Amino acid sequence: MAANLKEVRERIRSVNNTQQITKAMKMVSAAKLRKAQQAIQQLRPYADKQNAMLANILSNLGGEADIAFGKAREVKKACMVVVTSNRGLAGAFNANVCKAAMHDLNGKYADVRAAGNMTMLFIGKKGYDFFRKRYPDVKIIKDYVTLFDNLTFENVSNVSKKLMDAFASGEYDVIDVAYGKFKNAATQFTITEQFLPVAQAESTSGSDKKMRADYIFEPSMEGLLNYLVPSILQTTFYKFLLDTHASEHGARMTAMDKASENADELLKELRLSYNKARQEAITKELLEIVGGAAALENG
């Protein structure tokens, strides 16, 4: 019985220590989340409006705009950018991003993979650890795995510029990004979004298809678009990473909160077991004392 009590005490101490860690991690993630949430909420309306404007311009100009980033080609070579966190303990967040990427690898890009023309670029260690041995037929780029250690627009722009140059030169025919889209602290969506070529706006009715916006370009259409399009794409790619960064902290805060609640439930059960075992031990000792006293009286 004493051994059983000691074992329960050790488990209670262990759960208490673990709960202190989960509570501390929750507080740290909550503090980081506020900053990350503010960053993505400030950038997203601007980036979304830019993307809508770019898609609308390209769809209305049609063949008049000679923009390499808006030209759709037959997909023979593809690149998948997988954006995950560097650290775990974020629930199923990283696994869900990887599953979204796997879905396209096994379906949409199965033929490209079979031809040996599939490339994956990783931002975040968890995605790289997940995929590095799963697809031997895929080329791996791990130069930017630690990008989240110094997440600035300048550092992210280096990656987006490399991807844009690779697309423009024909190294890739399409570039997709798998990432976590932030909604709030408790909800994050994992999606795969096409980065290049730029998707054009679609008209929903016959009359809309005949209408064209009368854009005025100064100083020239080519000059303006050649400057504007790369800038918009860099902002869009930066949004992917800010979304994932906020999603990571939201998922980790939620996971640590649930872990702390589970620790509370476990502690209740352990303390109940400890008290029962202690009462049994006390009752047994009392019975032994009473039995011994009775034996002395009879003797």
pLDDT tens-digit readout, 17-59:
999 999 999 999 999 999 999 999 999 999 988 888 877 777 7
Residue that is written with structure tokens 């009752």 in the block: 283
**pLDDT for 206:** 47
Residue with tokens 């311009």: 57
What pLDDT, on a 0 to 100 scale, did the predictor assign at position 204? 43
HSE value, Cβ hemisphere, 13 Å, CA-based, for 26? 15
- Give residue-wise pLDDT tens across range 222-261: 777 778 889 999 999 999 999 999 999 999 999 999 999 9
Q: Going by DSSP bridges, is the β-strand pair 78-83/174-184 parallel, antiparallel, or unpaired?
A: parallel
Cis ω before 136 (30° cut-off from 0): no
Residue 293 scores a pLDDT above 80: no
Chain centroid to CA 188: how far?
8
- Alpha-carbon distance 83 to 240, whole Å? 8
Structure tokens at 86: 């560097």
pLDDT at 151: 92
Which residues pair with residue 196 across a beta bridge? Answer: 175
CA distance 236 to 97: 18
Band of pLDDT at residue 207, cut at 50, 70 and 90: very low
Whether residue 292 has pLDDT greater than 50: yes
Whether 94 and 88 have beta carbons less than 8 Å apart is answered as: yes
- Residue 178's beta-bridge partner residues? 82, 192
In a 13 Å sphere around the CA of 61, the CA atoms on its Cβ side amount to 19
User: Measured between alpha carbons, how far is 114 from 69 in angstroms, rounded to an integer?
Assistant: 26
Rounded CA separation 75/170 (Å): 11
For the record, the structure tokens of 237 come out as 């790619």
- CB neighbours of residue 149 within 10 Å: 9
Asked whether the beta carbons of 234 and 161 are under 8 A apart, the reply is yes
Q: What is the number of alpha carbons within 13 Å of residue 7 lying toward its C-beta? A: 6
pLDDT in tens, 119-144: 999 999 999 999 998 999 899 999 99
Looking at per-residue confidence, does 185 or 33 come out higher?
Answer: 33
User: 75 with 219: CB under 8 angstroms?
Assistant: no
The encoded tokens of residue 255 equal: 């996971």
CA-based torsion, 242, 244, 245, 250: positive or negative: positive
* Confidence band for 8, pLDDT divided at 50, 70 and 90: confident
The pTM of the full predicted model, rounded to 2 decimals, is 0.84
Closest CA to 252 of 9, 10, 29: 29
> CA-to-CA distance for 38 and 246, rounded, in angstroms?
9
Length, in residues, of the chain: 299
Average pLDDT, the chain: 87
- What pLDDT sits at residue 72? 84
Angle, nearest 10°, between helix axes 2-61 and 221-298? 170
Q: Ramachandran region of residue 89, left (φ > 0), alpha (ψ -120 to 50) or beta?
A: left
State percent of the chain over pLDDT 90.
63
Amino acid at the residue 277? A
Distance CA 138, CA 249 (A): 30
Mean pLDDT of 89-117: 94
